Amino acid sequence: MAGGDLRQRRAAAAADGEGDGKMGSGGEEAEVKGKGQGRKEALGWLEWGRGWMGIVGEFLFQRIAASNLSNPLELPPLDGVSFVVTGATSGIGLEIARQLALAGGHVVMAVRRTKLAQELIQKWQNDNSEIGKPLNAEVMELDLLSLDSVVKFADAWNARMAPLHVLINNAGIFSIGEPQRFSKDGYEEHMQVNHLAPALLAVLLLPSLLRGSPSRIVNVNSVMHTVGFVDAEDMNLTSGKRKFTSLMGYSNSKLAQIKFSSMLHRRIPAEAGINVICASPGIVHTNVARDLPKLVVAAYHLIPYFIFDAQEGSRSTLFAASDPQVPDYCEMLKSEDWPVCACISYDCNPMNASEESHNLETSQLVWEKTLEMIGLPPDAVDKFIEGESVQCRYGQQKAE
């Protein structure tokens, strides 16, 4: 069963956000005050508390809330539809790629471990020999810890002059308990893998997404964004204002992703036919657990009822990537000038992102800083939409 009529559920989502795009419930205003009153530097206690209440509530009740969904999710025929799926060799990404391929889609597994991906395709083929035709799946190398690799991947795909119908930015990291680490590009690893690299990939693939219009960019996000805060002047968390923790790195990166996605959603004209969606998989037992302390890993195994497996966790992303209602829902949000892009919950219903997600002033700052960090000019999206070429600082070549 699918998630129901998105349009009918729009009113409920708006009511959760008080319908004004500011999310100012509980006596707090998510909008940053005027210049004379200073810049917002952290979440308020009420915002932070509500965020954690939402996380605990999702953990306890996600299985009940999603009990109406089939497992696996029923997909429409996807013959002729092309998908790029990052992080497709494990966890949710593996399930997304497998199910899309079995439904007839042309699936590009964008991964670091290319040999493993080839082996997975062969296994899927062997396990489903009754299909009677080879799966339309292929492998391309992509390392999100290298922005040069992102540019190389995008250039290779764009050079095909083929349409891309859906980009699924699934790959992510959550190195719980680990010290702060930086990529060779100089960026904090959570921020680069979970936000900066997917943002660069999405923008660079706009020419192919235009050829595939109507098309979609689907970002796998997390309820953890509700306890994140992004300071555009300290996205690397190196200023010393706050002590780094992996939880902070992860939640901040997921909030940054929603903010950038929302600004991209607003920047792309409706006639371009490219929709931007963030999907929350729920609390899922995947390979993220390999980074958890042993005690927490043991707890994961003791409470399997509450936690989704990878197949269950893939449903919201598959829904966002394939359900025919999604473009209409995105168009409705755009027509109402809603401050946040479409967000789909683990139960395949619309969800309202955090209060801070609705803060357009900080979202604009994150948008500008992100483009600077990934080496693109401020007008990159506009130029791509108009069919012009754009020079990226990474990759040492022109991205078209």
| Predicted confidence (pLDDT) per residue in 321-348, tens digit | 999 999 999 999 999 999 999 999 999 9
Structural domain contains residue 7: no
**Does 298 reside within a domain?**
yes
Q: What percent of the chain has pLDDT over 90?
A: 76
- For residue 166, the domain's CATH number is 3.40.50.720
The per-residue pLDDT for range 77-89, each reduced to its tens digit, is 999 999 999 999 9
Is position 230 within any domain?
Answer: yes
Of the CA atoms within 13 Å of residue 77, those in its CB half-sphere come to 2
The predicted pLDDT at position 307 comes to 87
Report if residue 124 sits inside a domain. Answer: yes
- Taking the C-alpha atoms of residue 106 and residue 135, their distance in angstroms, rounded to an integer, is 8
Q: Look at residue 398 and tell me whether its pLDDT is greater than 60.
A: no
Say which DSSP state 192 is in.
Answer: I
Q: How far apart are CA 349 and CA 7, in angstroms?
A: 10
| pLDDT at residue 400 greater than cutoff 80 | no
Here the tokens at position 96 are 């997304």
**The pLDDT of residue 138 is above 90:** yes
Checking if the pLDDT of 290 tops 90, the result is no
Catalytically active residues are: 250
Residue 177 lies in a domain: yes
Q: Where are the beta strands (DSSP E) in 68-149?
A: 82-86, 106-111, 137-141
Count structural domains, the chain: 1
* pLDDT for position 280: 97
Q: Is 363's pLDDT higher than 60?
A: yes
Confidence check: pLDDT of 11 > 50: no
Please write down the HEC assignment for all residues of 239-253. CCCCCCCHHHHHHHH
**How many CA within 13 A on the CB side of residue 251?**
22
390, pLDDT greater than 70: yes
The model's pTM is 0.89
Q: Is 153 within a domain?
A: yes
Instruction: Examine the pLDDT at 396 and tell me if it is beyond 50.
Output: yes
Asked whether residue 1 carries a pLDDT value surpassing 70, the answer given is no
DSSP string, 289-336: GGGS-HHHHHHHHH-TTTSB-HHHHTHHHHHHHH-TTHHHHHHHHHHT
Residue 209 lies in a domain: yes
Beta strands 398-399 and 390-391 are antiparallel
pLDDT exceeds cutoff 70 at 287: no
Residue-number span of the structural domain to which 338 is assigned: 68-378
